[in-house]
Chain A
Amino acid sequence: MRLTRRHFLGGAAAAAVAGGGIYELVDKLGSSPKRPVAEPAGMPPEQHVFDLSTVRSEGVDVLVPPLHSEVVTATLAAPDLPKAQTQLEDVLRELDARYPLTPAGLGVTVAWGLPYFDRFVGEQAKTHLPFDRRAGKPVLLPNRRFPSDPSSTLLESNDMVVLLRSDHVEHIDEARTAIFALPFLTVTSIRHGFAGGGFEGGLGLPKKMGVAAGVPGADLIPDGAELFLGFTSTQKAGLGPGKIANHETLGYVDLRSGYFHGGTHMHLSHINEDLEAWYLNFDFDERLLTAFRPGMKNVRVNAQTIPQGPAQVSPVALLESQFEKTGRFGHSASIQATSRLLQDTVGADGTAYPKGTAIPQRADFNTLDNPFMFSSDPKRDGMSKEPSAGVHFVVFNPTGDDFERNRLAMDGVLPGGKTLSVPPRNRAQGFNSVLTTTHRQNFLVPPRRHRSFPLAEL
């Protein structure tokens, strides 16, 4: 019989998980990566920019993700906005002063959902919210389902969200406690998880945590894998560099008043991952072509870090011809049709980005939440105490439409309207057959100077 979470907590590991639950095992089962100790000279204007150290993995530069990440969503209980703005900013500044903005310290990102802008600052939002001129739509779009989403995917309506990132769970605990002690915030969910832990050898956290929790298929995760699905996801060339995901950088956005200069768009979702289906039905070659693209050559069997630099970007024509030939397409190749720069580009701040540079900045992490660690509405959210393999997907894009383009490409809907026709969640369609999205919501991440109740002071 598989251990349930209750059994797990009642077993020998009970002492280790008594406080923060299963995730305290991250600190028992993993060791903190070596991090630079110097504090950055100053806080960047962006909330979402979080510098990570780099290691070499199988000859590829890889960013070392924080061991722990947590997302807390909340609604607002009719606050006195100016007062609430000051109170939240005070708490955030205290955290800024206490912890360096590094994974060894703490990263805090506060973002706001459409319900906040509609309900609390509607008039100001009409004037100041950025507009995506490329798409002809607001930057912050209403939530939607995508072709491979089941009809059960919940579209959420939280007012705000806080993303906390650190190698030390106690830093996250302290930040969550401090922020959500504010009386006008009502927590709707807490979502916790982990990533990495295997770059310096050993099993890696996803395998250790999954096996410890008795998650089906966890014993098939390759040793050292950064994430449950076995491939390294944070290679440097696969993540948007610097400020590329800012609203203003690539020129997609009309910033109007400029209030949100330095901000970005954040999408949050929870996705269940069927590890048994992945590892028992897809051999390495099929996992490779499913995760990346058909026809890859000279890849070592059981490799985890597959180069995905500009030189490896799959042009749309190749994607289409491989689809014609094989009847299937890979996850990375389809997304790269929209997630990489199609030409050399100079950003608004003068930074040059070569063709093939990644735009989205992902901050996703694996989880054993099912689907969350805490929910204020367990029935609606389908809460279960049985640990389950999944990912809390967090990604920063310049606009909501930019995210949607990438997500649609993942389902074979390419820019220009061409569709690689594969039934939703079919095995021929990248990862989709082993993923099930349970929740989605879009948020706007204001620049640091306006992170607390944006527009409330106007």
Chain B
Amino acid sequence: MRATAVAALVALALGVGVQASTAAPKASCPGAWAKGWQRLADKINAPVYCPTWMPNPLDAQIGGQYQDIYSIGKDRSYLVGFLEHGDLGSGDVHVNFRGYPGRTTIPTCPAPVGKSTVPCFADPAGKVVENGIRATVYQVNQGADQWHILLAWRYNGSLYSVSQHVIVPYDSVTRVRANLKHLLKSLVLVRPQD
């Protein structure tokens, strides 16, 4: 009894609702963002991950004010990026989502020097497990993910990733990893509609 009371007090002190132990409703792709992610899933005919949280000030509305890159390859792989570019020195907030339907190997990118290729995601630095996803943290990434920390994971025979640029205002790897962990936790799967 005493333990229950203490737990409730702790929960209150942490700002956690005392009903937190009851099952939360399954999150879904936020209303304003859902249409774009659903359209993407339909177009590539494969599941995509929609975030339900983004680092401030971004949202994840495809076609919205922060969308940067929206690219779908012939192999159905996609890259969707969101960017806030702080012209007045406030820094950049840049998050990329990728998916490679039907493949789980890490793609290759042109090497920074010479004519060879290198893995697009390299220097693995541990794992993050959230939301039933076990992702590998990659510290050295190429192309649109250069200077980003990237999480990559496999689901149902496909490879997915989310990355964030290490730059002011999120200018430490520790902060970016915390954001990515939060992002991973927030992802919901959007399946293609028949």
Which residues on A are within 8 Å of B, measured CB to CB?
1-2, 214, 216-217, 219-220, 276, 279-286, 326-328, 427-428
Min Cβ gap B96→A in Å is 14
How far apart are B110's CB and chain A's nearest CB, in angstroms? 13
B174 touches A427 (CB 8 A): no
- Interface hits, B130-179 → A, CB 8 Å: 139-140, 146-149, 166, 169, 171-174
Please report B residues at the A interface, Cβ cutoff 8 Å: 112-114, 118-119, 122-123, 139-140, 146-149, 166, 169, 171-174
Kindly report which residue of chain B lies nearest to residue A218, judged by CB atoms.
B172
Q: Note all chain A residues with C-beta closer than 8 A to B173.
A: 217, 219-220, 280
Residue of B nearest to A426 (CB): B113
A427 / chain B contacts, CB cutoff of 8 Å:
112-113
B135, chain A: closest CB distance, angstroms: 18
Q: Please determine whether B113 and A328 come into contact, CB atoms closer than 8 angstroms.
A: yes
Q: Can you list 25 residue pairs at the A/B interface with Cβ under 8 Å? A: A1-B169, A216-B166, A217-B173, A219-B172, A276-B147, A279-B123, A279-B140, A280-B139, A280-B146, A280-B148, A280-B166, A280-B173, A281-B147, A282-B140, A283-B118, A283-B119, A283-B122, A283-B140, A284-B123, A285-B122, A286-B118, A286-B140, A328-B113, A427-B113, A428-B113
**Contact at A327–B146, with CB atoms within 8 Å?**
no
The 6 closest A-B pairs by CB, nearest first: A283-B122, A283-B140, A283-B123, A428-B113, A327-B114, A219-B173
Which chain B residues lie closer than 8 Å to A326 at the CB level? 113-114
Query: Do B166 and A276 touch (CB < 8 A)?
Result: yes
Using CB atoms, name the residue of chain B closest to A290: B113
Contact status A2-B172, CB under 8 Å: yes
CA of A1 to CA of B148 in the docked complex: distance in angstroms?
A: 18
**In the complex the two chains form, is B112's CB within 8 Å of A281's CB?**
yes
When C-beta atoms are compared, the residue in chain A nearest to B116 turns out to be A326
Q: How far, in angstroms, from A219 to B169 measured CA to CA in the complex?
A: 16
Residues of chain B within 8 A (CB-CB) of A284 are: 122-123
Give the complex CA separation of A283 and B106 in angstroms: 15
Question: 15 new A-B pairs (CB below 8 Å) besides A1-B169, A428-B114?
Answer: A2-B171, A217-B173, A219-B174, A276-B147, A280-B140, A280-B147, A280-B166, A280-B173, A281-B140, A283-B139, A286-B118, A327-B113, A327-B114, A328-B113, A428-B113
Q: Identify the closest chain A residue to B123 (Cβ).
A: A283
Partner among A216, A281, A428 whose Cβ is within 8 Å of the Cβ of B171: A216
Chain B residues within an 8 Å CB radius of A428: 113-114
Report how far A458 CA is from B122 CA in the complex, Å.
63
Q: Given the complex of chains A and B, what is the CA–CA distance between A283 and B122 in angstroms?
A: 6
What's the least CB distance linking B33 to chain A, in Å? 29
Q: Are A328 and B140 in contact (CB under 8 A)?
A: no
Residue of chain A at shortest CB distance from B114: A327
Q: How far is the CA of A219 from the CA of B170 in the complex (A)?
A: 14
User: CA of A427 to CA of B123 in the docked complex: distance in angstroms?
Assistant: 18
CB <8 Å contact, B114 and A220: no
Query: Which residues from B are CB-within-8-Å of A327?
Result: 113-114
Q: How far is the CA of A226 from the CA of B156 in the complex (A)?
A: 43
Q: Which residues of A contact B149 (CB under 8 A)?
A: 280
Q: In whole angstroms, how far apart are the Cα atoms of A225 and B172 in the complex?
A: 19
Residues of B within 8 A of A276 (CB): 147, 166
Say which residue of B119, B146, B172 sits within 8 Å of A281 (CB atoms): B146
Nearest Cβ distance between residue A387 and chain B, in whole angstroms? 13
